[in-house]
Amino acid sequence: MTEGGGSIELSELYGAVIAARRQTNGRGRLGRSFASPGGGSIYASFILEPPIDPTEQRITAFAAVAVCLALEKTTSYKPGIKWINDIYIEGKKICGILAESIPGAVILGVGININLREEDMPVDLRGNAGSLFMGEEARTRLESSLREEAFRCMAIAERPDTTEAAALMKEYRARSIVLGKAVILESGHEKRSAFCEGHASDGALIVRYGDGSVEELRSGDVTVRLVS
């Protein structure tokens, strides 16, 4: 990377966060586009140092907890987590999370909708996507708290066998909106009904099928839909 003719090593960016209020090419899971309308939203990329593994469910789970804690500390909103990377408030998705690797680093992306009207969102997201509403001072507090909580939780994620990691997973379970619910699992064109029995210590979703069999899901291409 270069800046003003000088060279910047990627390692110099570990622990940094790049934040924006608008994205022109946001990306979500499975290479899907991630709608990023302009306005007061928070679109943040946290630069993490390997050997943190973005494929581990724990990374995304702990990031979700970080978002919830930041929201709870700075606003009156009561967020919930839909396995594994979506934050919901009052039945609407207000945040998406994605962890992925690039040569020499791991990027943790967090997008939080703020001050967006329904007409600001793509037509196919209306009804499911929501937004937080707040002034500039509150937004600044949220962004600062998110930065603090994200790096704290990622540091704990690197030490999975500690009491701190167990405590964060407990926080995750407490905010799960699928725990104890009937769900429909979608993978490609296949759909299967199941009951969510819990979340494993690494963030995997534990489900029981109608035939009594139990499975721990860690695949990134499974979509969970709540049964109303």
**Statement: the pTM of the whole predicted model exceeds 0.75:** yes
Q: How far apart (Å, rounded) are the C-alpha atoms in residues 178 and 172?
A: 11
The most confident of the ranges 14-18, 120-124, 172-176 is: 172-176
Quickly state the pLDDT bin for 71 (edges 50, 70, 90): very high
Whether the pLDDT of residue 218 is over 90: the answer is: no
Number of neighbouring beta carbons within 10 Å of residue 162: 11
Taking the CA atoms of the chain, what radius of gyration do you get in angstroms? 18
Q: Tell me: the pLDDT tens digits for 104-122?
A: 899 999 999 999 888 878 7
Whether the pLDDT of residue 10 is over 90: the answer is: no
pLDDT for 35: 54
Residues 64 and 146 in one domain: yes
Quickly state the pLDDT bin for 172 (edges 50, 70, 90): very high
Residues 218 and 108 in one domain: no
Q: Tell me: the pLDDT tens digits for 194-204?
A: 999 999 999 99
Residues 10 and 104 in one domain: yes
Nearest by Cα to 130 from 71, 84, 61: 71
CATH of the domain at 187: 2.30.30.100
Residues 200 and 124 in one domain: no
Residues 136 and 207 in one domain: no
Phi, psi of 35 (to 5 degrees): -60, 130
Structural domain for 108, as ranges: 2-175
Number of domains in the chain: 2
Higher confidence at residue 9 or residue 44?
Answer: 44
Residues 77 and 187 in one domain: no
Q: Tell me: the pLDDT tens digits for 126-136?
A: 788 999 999 99
